[in-house]
Structure 1
Amino acid sequence: MSDKILLLVDGSSYLYRAFHALPDLRGPGGVPTGAIHGMVAMLRKLREQFPADHAACIFDAKGDTFRNEWYAGYKAHRPPMPEPLAEQIGPIHEVVKLLGWPVLEVPGIEADDVIGTLSCVGRQSGHKVVVSTGDKDLAQLVNDSVTLINTMSNETLDTPGVLAKFGVPPDRIVDYLTLVGDAVDNIPGVDKVGPKTAAKWISEHGSLDGVIAAADKIKGVAGENLRRALDWLPQGKRLVTVVTDCDLAGHVLGWPGLDALQFKEVDRHGLLDFYARFGFKTWKRELEESLGVTAAPAPQTPPAQGQTADLFGVSAPAPQPVGERAYETVLSFEALDAWIAKLQAAPLVALDTETDSLDGMRAQIVGISFAVRPGEAAYVPLRHSYADAPDQLPFDEVLARLKPWLEDETRPKLGQHVKYDLHVFANHGIAVRGYVHDTMLESYVLEAHKPHSLDSLAQRHLDRKGLSYEDVCGKGASQIPFAQVEVARASDYSCEDSEMALHVHQTLWPHLETERGLKYVYEHIEMPTSALLLRIERNGVLIDAGLLARQSHELAQRIMTLEGEAHELAGQPFNLGSPKQIGEILFGKLQLPVVKKTASGAPSTDEEVLEKLAEDYPLPAKILEHRGLCKLKGTYTDKLPLMINPSTGRVHTTYAQAVAVTGRLSSNDPNLQNIPIRTPEGRRIREAFIAPPGHAIVSADYSQIELRIMAHISGDATLMRAFTEGMDVHRATAAEIFSLAPEQVTSEQRRYAKVINFGLIYGMSAFGLASNLGIEQKAARDYIDRYFQRYPDVKRYMDETRASAKDKGYVETVFGRRLWLPEINSPNGPRRGGAERAAINAPMQGTAADLIKLSMIAVQRELDAAGKQTRMVMQVHDELVFEVPEAELDWVRTEVPRIMAGVAELKVPLVAEVGVGPNWDKAH
């Protein structure tokens, strides 16, 4: 085949897909930029990937085409282009041309037909044609010279690829589309005939003509529908067929030749101006470097309203250049002593460990690196063990020499994910002090909604890409332990990590310093929480493995019984773990009503569907119970005993601090925050979390914390009075909604009020409330209206918060934590609605997260000051769990709730409650 390539881009397909796939990115002045960004990224990638001589980016022109003359209903139901996308069309055309792409937009002819015609001409002129698109209709163009690629899904479709994807070869795609139809373009097909049926018919009868000829023999509803559609099918086929002989004279110079479609040079100076106008900083800096241009200082203006694509916008100071890198591998005591002197003298040192495990409690040091400024770092290899590895300094002696500096709290240190390194040093008997910064937490506080790995921070804020772990250790089955990495390579990797962390800090810290609220959250909440989580993780919690084994046995018996009962209800055996078999039994054999369908059109058997069906039918209830018990057994009763650390006899979870955008902690290996407690079997799991002899488990948690925060933030007088006077807030709400005295409220009315109280702070709609309470939607709407009449400032808070979030792109907690909402101005209705609900709830969830962290810090401070032996062993949602010596129980019962209630002054009282027991379950 010829080496000549004709590269064709379906611009209309991509601009829509980029617009809907990316968040609502905004540039300077709040202009939408998501579709622009997606198009530029895709075109840059394509030009690198395919060194084509000829190319074109083709867009649909405004107005009708010849298909509208053929069929008046063509695209009749397609909604108008969203306004934020329409704003980006002009800039997209501009930047495509600046990137060197010929742009085609032919009035009266669709982009698909222009692409089809160019593909045909390209093939005739000996080109290999590559069409970049996400449009399935263009699969009909594929042949030995034409290939489709989809840059968004990394899919390539040649002839075998089309057959594998659609079940028909390219020359039968038109027949296939005719039968299936196209809902987007309002082209009817055969009613109830989907992709599988269409492919099956064409396979059986050879073509659309063969299907039509056999129409009388095709049975069932599909056959009847086919016969009803016979008169339409020729017109449908005409509409879905891409035209390949359009006259493009006047639009492509020298037509039918392709000389006018030669790739042009990139207009770099024009692009520089474009990137500056639309706030594409990374691409702008790339161009400045290639052009040798020194960037002018950015104007110190705040980000545009709603700008969430880049936290720092155009006002971010450029990171200081690294300059020449000076990395040293320390293999002698002279070099080590020289570096210790540097560490003693440096105002701030970045520190990193290389280890043999990701489990902080078990990891052993392989090497240590330090950086005293960006570009200047050293690596001390200690346990590289491959053949021909250089002689390394004695492990114990190196740590002994470093220990005084490491444990000196007056020597400021920083790291990336400091808690892990603290674990590692603690495993070797070193309690590192003096950590003043953690770049992961700096990033988390500044922009919680973005990734916080060092690689992503370096790329996002420094335009630097370093070596990855896979670069030095390999991937998958061929990955080697770090101890097997060649020392010089390990030194480059580790030194880079340390100095890049220092470089990232120099960029992030100035932003934290200028934001009072964020600085408070970082210095007084997140950094102290990190240090305390280290202690909690190392404390671990005692597990009764024997009890869990007995529970596992009981669960296994109950699971077997449930299987038998389910088989009896179904009238046959089936696999309760197979959604396919469950669907066949419920909707095929038993003909239960279909609640909803999966993306492929099959009846769904997810938990929501089974819960709905379980209200009226016994088998779905059995399946649900079976699923729940299998999950309990597999995730907890079987697995927890295997997670006991042999050296401590305890289970040590890992708390992830920089994951949830609301500030809440997450727990993994094991996940202690996800133990189901709504069933007796789930609650029994907590019985296995026990106190050692002479101790008790104490649980302390806040009472109705999010509702109290709602009262504080909204300032609603009625809601505040309920809490200030110590009333049952759900009973008080029911009294307000139903116009009753509190003592007249029934338990059912209180239950309704509780659902409303919690539902509304999570943005629940009338539909959601109606579903939850099992009532009519109108009744639910009446309840919500009455709620807001009684609590008008709650309604005002919700309305004002939504408006403020749209304006700023974020909301804040009481303490200043910033909760970003990238989709708050999205043109996509469901995404925008979700962001609006999050805007209302996030300040409450986030403030609750801040309060529990402040409580942890304050309680531990008092425990240390009083010399108590009580240990904090778990943090779960709004709950703190302690292992308390019996002699300290009275102190803990009195002081812990007092401390927790006093960590902040809200407009309503904070109330913490404690429970005591021999295990976690009994402590509730």
Structure 2
Amino acid sequence: MSKLVLIDGNSIAYRAFFALPLLNNDKGVYTNAVYGFTTMLLKVLEEEEPTHLLVAFDAGKTTFRHETYDEYKSGRQKTPSELSEQLPLIREMLDAFNISHTELANYEADDIIGTLSKQAEEKAWDIKVYSGDKDLLQLVSDKTKVSLTKKGITNVETYDIQAIDERYGINPKQIVDMKGLMGDSSDNIPGVPGIGEKTALKLLKEHGSVEAVLESIDQISGKKMKERLEENKEQALMSKELAVIFRDVPIHLEIDTLKRQALDTKKVIDLFKELEFQSLLSKFDDVEEEKQELEDVPFEKVENITEEIFASPSALIVEVPSENYHHADIWGIAVVNKTGRYYIPLDSALSSESFHKWAADDSKEKYMFDTKRGVVALGWKGITLAGVTHDTLIASYLIDPSVSSHNVADIAARKNKHIVHSDDAVYGKGAKRAIPEESVLADHLARKGEAVFSLKSTLEEELKKNEQYDLFTKLEMPLSLILGKMETSGVLVDKEQLEKMGEELDAKLEELQKEIHELAGTEFNINSPKQLGPVLFEKLNLPVIKKTKTGYSTSADVLEKLEDQHEIIPKLLLYRQVAKLKSTYIEGLLKVIHPDTSKIHTIFNQALTQTGRLSSTEPNLQNIPIRLEEGRRIRKAFVPSKKGWSILAADYSQIELRVLAHIAGDKGLLEAFQKNMDVHTKTAMDVFHVKEEDVTANMRRTAKAVNFGIVYGISDYGLSQSLSITRKEAQEFIDRYLSSYPNVKEYMEEIKEEAREKGYVTTLLNRRRYLPEITSRNFNRRSFAERTAMNTPIQGTAADIIKQAMVDVSATLEKENLHSRLLLQVHDELIFEVPEEEVKKMRELVPKVMEQTMQLDVPLKAEVSYGPTWYDAK
């Protein structure tokens, strides 16, 4: 999704100048406005992550508004020279950041922002405007939000439609009417003398607009007020006109050209140095890294391997820089321990019996970074890896999952150990990524090994301090080895079956195309919005929901609103779903079947999500769609690797709601699960105050939506969308739900308070999620943090339970000497391949182990099914 950020350059520069003391560098150049502006810019880039960006400036003192009113903006104090001197420096800074900026004679920055935000809205982009000027609030819409600076420069208050309503009691379009009545002293807009904000808002709530107020003067109470309005009719209308942002500026700039570019690092650093912005320079330490002198880390290259180098414990580095490391080349190996630092070329390691023996020896303690990657990479080379007791990546991730970078160099730097460069600095980025000469590679790997070896005690001390050591040693570390085995084993895919499904989907698309053309009464390219739009909105006369710059919008949300209007719409929606299945899943999966194994070897990301859930990439097997039968049938292609074996699926039932019942300790929810009732029916009974036999399908559907919504911190808007009801009805239902389950409401308030006190929340196994914005003055950021505080302990504990189940089941399979294999984890489901003679035992054993994984105040329940394919197992 494209996101456009528009910054009001003059306004932010002005605010920065007056918010900070007058600073200058040793050359006497004033820098406070540049510093404040840049600080704001860095914060915006980090928090908003815009795809497109522009800073707009005022071009001069005279604009088209002066033709309407000579005195517009007169009386303003002259811009201090200390500020005007800094505006060119701000533009220079923007150039260094490769950020577009513009101005246009006769127009204000507001008008440029209004024009570009309009363009972006027509493309259904998300837009965020930053300014210190309340006039821009008139641009707020369902796609545009406006952040206004408050005290200081980085402290902003963000307005959406709801926030404007809460603050003023009017909609964004009425902001200009408010200015028309009350005027604006900063812009010298006169308004109606004697009318302030309070009176203006009262009049607008009663009448709606300046024009309506003036037409209803006779109905307005107060003789003086009537006189003022009567005497200043023209002035009120003119004031409104002056306040309106012009959104059709003849600017030769398309929003597509505002794509965010990589900054010019050298220019930014040089400018920061020139302006003496030391604190900002520190943010670019990793950029300067290549120039930084690192500590000396001597190492020895070992080609003739002897057992003497394998002291215990040892850090082991298995270097596979490729993102998809299955069958990828290992670039080199390093071993670091108390006896020394050793670089081992791959060929030497592969041909060494001593290395093979040491790697597979469970009693030889090893520390690694990304154990799973090492297990898989060595596994493909025929080397078994065991005895790994510490993983730097997993430890760092558990300590703070919100940190964006968990590579060795960054982890070491955060612990003040500047001993290793980043991989990008050594290998290059993107297409330039390449193996360096051996001396450089050897030095880099030895440094990585030294970092992993020396950081172990520091990281484990933090884990113990956080009460996360058991989570690390008993759950995540064993899990990394299990995931490595799962990735290496892969899951067999019937290529012919997939290709056959592709042909069937082609036939379905052809059939749907024919039906759509018949309903339309004409042939056209269904995939072309330019051709589809006129068919729907001109030929079939369907109501126009939204227009874009290039014509009618035919996006999914538009079609969904028209679903009941014509029978062509459901066909179009189905056509798009089937087309996506064909391209994304059939063709996508065929591309990633490994030619040597005929299997798909997905990669499980163990250190990525902030809730602790596993994710899957290369390909993502966790999002194969199951709503459509055509999507579910894709699972038919996933088969056991041996003839006569079965696929067995074990799925936790309503695990998150069970966790909520336990954490909240709510009597109603506890009773539902303890008595093995249908929890959604029970919720409908409690909320609608009816007997079980009187619960209708619609009541249960509503209860189910709220039950699952509560787990994810649902809002009235979210519930209204999922149930197609009004926000008011949705809020009423949420209120009734919370009054029916008072302990759930109590939990929500308590966990928010706990997050405010501690700055983080935890799962039952002490997995942490930090929430720095829980105390933000920004309503939207604070609200998001509060929702996250409520749902993370639930989602995170559910993630812990499924992970622990993987560890427990794997240990049981090993103990029982079973040949069954764990293949996949998908959300709350474990997928196995099982020999025929073990099916009966596995059907009993797997749910038993899963249900005993964690003791809650409600029973855990796992349901098992099996069949010849993954599809049949469900």
1:378 corresponding residue in structure 2? 342
- Counterpart of 2:376 (choices 399, 423, 426) is 423
Most deviating of 905-914 and 353-362: 353-362
- Counterpart of 2:834 (choices 869, 876, 884) is 884
CA contact (8 A) 1:188 1:236 kept: no
Partner Cα separation in structure 2 for residue 470 and residue 912 of structure 1 = 45
- The sequence identity of aligned pairs, in percent, is 36
Residue by residue, what CA displacement relative to the aligned partner does 1:583-627 show, whole Å, maximum 9, x if unpaired? 5655677665555688x8987544333323324344443332222
- Counterpart of 1:329 (choices 293, 301, 312) is 301
1:656-805 matched pairs, under 5 angstroms: 656-691=605-640, 692-805=642-755
1:244-255 matched pairs, under 5 angstroms: none
* Letter aligned with residue 583 of structure 2: G
1:829 corresponding residue in structure 2? 779
Provide the secondary structure at the position in 2 that maps to 1:509.
Answer: helix
Residue by residue, what CA displacement relative to the aligned partner does 1:452-481 show, whole Å, maximum 9, x if unpaired? 22233234333638434444444444544x
Provide the secondary structure at the position in 1 that maps to 2:386.
Answer: coil
CA contact (8 A) 1:178 1:237 kept: no
CA contact (8 A) 2:376 2:487 kept: no
1:134-533 matched pairs, under 5 angstroms: 149=94, 154-155=98-99, 157=101, 162=102, 170-171=104-105, 177=111, 185=133, 323-330=295-302, 332-333=303-304, 336-337=305-306, 340-344=307-311, 346=312, 348-355=313-320, 357-372=322-337, 377-382=341-346, 394=348, 396-397=350-351, 399-451=352-404, 452-462=406-416, 464=418, 466-480=420-434, 482=435, 485-516=436-467, 518-533=468-483
**How far apart are 1:910 and its partner, in Å?**
0.7
**How far apart are 1:567 and its partner, in Å?**
4.5
Partner Cα separation in structure 1 for residue 487 and residue 471 of structure 2 = 22
CA contact (8 A) 2:376 2:484 kept: yes
Provide the secondary structure at the position in 2 that maps to 1:132.
Answer: helix
2:488 corresponding residue in structure 1? 538
Residue 644, structure 1, aligned to residue 589, structure 2: no
Most deviating of 906-915 and 574-583: 574-583
1:48-87 matched pairs, under 5 angstroms: none
**How far apart are 1:354 and its partner, in Å?**
3.0
* Letter aligned with residue 94 of structure 2: I
Partner Cα separation in structure 2 for residue 264 and residue 322 of structure 1 = 22
Partner Cα separation in structure 2 for residue 817 and residue 601 of structure 1 = 49
CA contact (8 A) 2:647 2:866 kept: yes
Partner Cα separation in structure 1 for residue 611 and residue 272 of structure 2 = 48
Gaps of 5+ in 2: 1-8, 20-34, 46-56, 58-65, 118-128, 141-234, 250-270, 287-292
Partner Cα separation in structure 2 for residue 732 and residue 190 of structure 1 = 46
2:603 corresponding residue in structure 1? 654
2:511 corresponding residue in structure 1? 561
Residues 611 and 407 from structure 1, CA distance in 2 versus in 1: closer, same or farther, beyond 3 angstroms? same
CA contact (8 A) 1:179 1:189 kept: no
Partner Cα separation in structure 1 for residue 597 and residue 677 of structure 2 = 46
- TM-score where L is the length of structure 1: 0.67
Residues 16 and 455 from structure 1, CA distance in 2 versus in 1: closer, same or farther, beyond 3 angstroms? farther
Partner Cα separation in structure 2 for residue 281 and residue 460 of structure 1 = 16
**How far apart are 1:71 and its partner, in Å?**
9.7
Partner Cα separation in structure 1 for residue 746 and residue 236 of structure 2 = 55
Partner Cα separation in structure 1 for residue 70 and residue 685 of structure 2 = 61
Partner Cα separation in structure 1 for residue 94 and residue 283 of structure 2 = 24
Partner Cα separation in structure 2 for residue 191 and residue 406 of structure 1 = 63
2:579 corresponding residue in structure 1? 630
Partner Cα separation in structure 2 for residue 576 and residue 732 of structure 1 = 45
Residue by residue, what CA displacement relative to the aligned partner does 1:33-91 show, whole Å, maximum 9, x if unpaired? xx989729969x9xxxxxxxxxxxx9xxxxxxxx9xx899989xxxxxxxxxxxxxxxx
Residue 850, structure 1, aligned to residue 800, structure 2: yes
Partner Cα separation in structure 1 for residue 672 and residue 244 of structure 2 = 68
Provide the secondary structure at the position in 2 that maps to 1:365.
Answer: coil
1:130 corresponding residue in structure 2? 88
**How far apart are 1:831 and its partner, in Å?**
2.8
Partner Cα separation in structure 2 for residue 672 and residue 587 of structure 1 = 38
**How far apart are 1:892 and its partner, in Å?**
0.8
Residues 863 and 752 from structure 1, CA distance in 2 versus in 1: closer, same or farther, beyond 3 angstroms? same
* Letter aligned with residue 673 of structure 1: Q
Provide the secondary structure at the position in 2 that maps to 1:648.
Answer: coil
Residues 706 and 234 from structure 1, CA distance in 2 versus in 1: closer, same or farther, beyond 3 angstroms? closer
Residues 496 and 611 from structure 1, CA distance in 2 versus in 1: closer, same or farther, beyond 3 angstroms? farther
**How far apart are 1:901 and its partner, in Å?**
0.5
Residues 817 and 36 from structure 1, CA distance in 2 versus in 1: closer, same or farther, beyond 3 angstroms? farther
**How far apart are 1:779 and its partner, in Å?**
3.3
CA contact (8 A) 1:520 1:816 kept: no
Partner Cα separation in structure 2 for residue 623 and residue 72 of structure 1 = 56
CA contact (8 A) 1:458 1:464 kept: yes
Provide the secondary structure at the position in 2 that maps to 1:875.
Answer: strand
* Letter aligned with residue 680 of structure 2: H
Residues 155 and 916 from structure 1, CA distance in 2 versus in 1: closer, same or farther, beyond 3 angstroms? same
CA contact (8 A) 1:373 1:499 kept: no
- TM-score where L is the length of structure 2: 0.70
Most deviating of 818-827 and 710-719: 818-827
**How far apart are 1:355 and its partner, in Å?**
4.3
Residues 646 and 742 from structure 1, CA distance in 2 versus in 1: closer, same or farther, beyond 3 angstroms? same
CA contact (8 A) 2:493 2:639 kept: yes
Provide the secondary structure at the position in 2 that maps to 1:677.
Answer: coil
Gaps of 5+ in 1: 1-8, 20-34, 46-57, 59-66, 76-106, 120-128, 134-146, 193-227, 242-261, 287-320, 384-393
Residues 109 and 455 from structure 1, CA distance in 2 versus in 1: closer, same or farther, beyond 3 angstroms? farther
Residues 400 and 36 from structure 1, CA distance in 2 versus in 1: closer, same or farther, beyond 3 angstroms? farther
* Letter aligned with residue 453 of structure 2: L
1:26 corresponding residue in structure 2? none
Partner Cα separation in structure 2 for residue 177 and residue 114 of structure 1 = 25
Partner Cα separation in structure 1 for residue 768 and residue 376 of structure 2 = 29
Residues 234 and 701 from structure 1, CA distance in 2 versus in 1: closer, same or farther, beyond 3 angstroms? closer
Partner Cα separation in structure 1 for residue 800 and residue 40 of structure 2 = 40
Provide the secondary structure at the position in 2 that maps to 1:639.
Answer: helix
1:225 corresponding residue in structure 2? none
1:312 corresponding residue in structure 2? none
Provide the secondary structure at the position in 2 that maps to 1:850.
Answer: helix
**How far apart are 1:180 and its partner, in Å?**
5.9
* Letter aligned with residue 90 of structure 2: S
Residues 579 and 396 from structure 1, CA distance in 2 versus in 1: closer, same or farther, beyond 3 angstroms? same
Partner Cα separation in structure 2 for residue 826 and residue 378 of structure 1 = 49
CA contact (8 A) 1:180 1:189 kept: no
CA contact (8 A) 1:74 1:186 kept: no
CA contact (8 A) 1:190 1:229 kept: no
RMSD after superposition: 4.5
1:873 corresponding residue in structure 2? 823
Count of aligned pairs between the two proteins: 693
Provide the secondary structure at the position in 1 that maps to 2:299.
Answer: strand
Provide the secondary structure at the position in 2 that maps to 1:644.
Answer: coil
CA contact (8 A) 2:491 2:600 kept: yes
2:857 corresponding residue in structure 1? 907
Most deviating of 618-627 and 447-456: 618-627
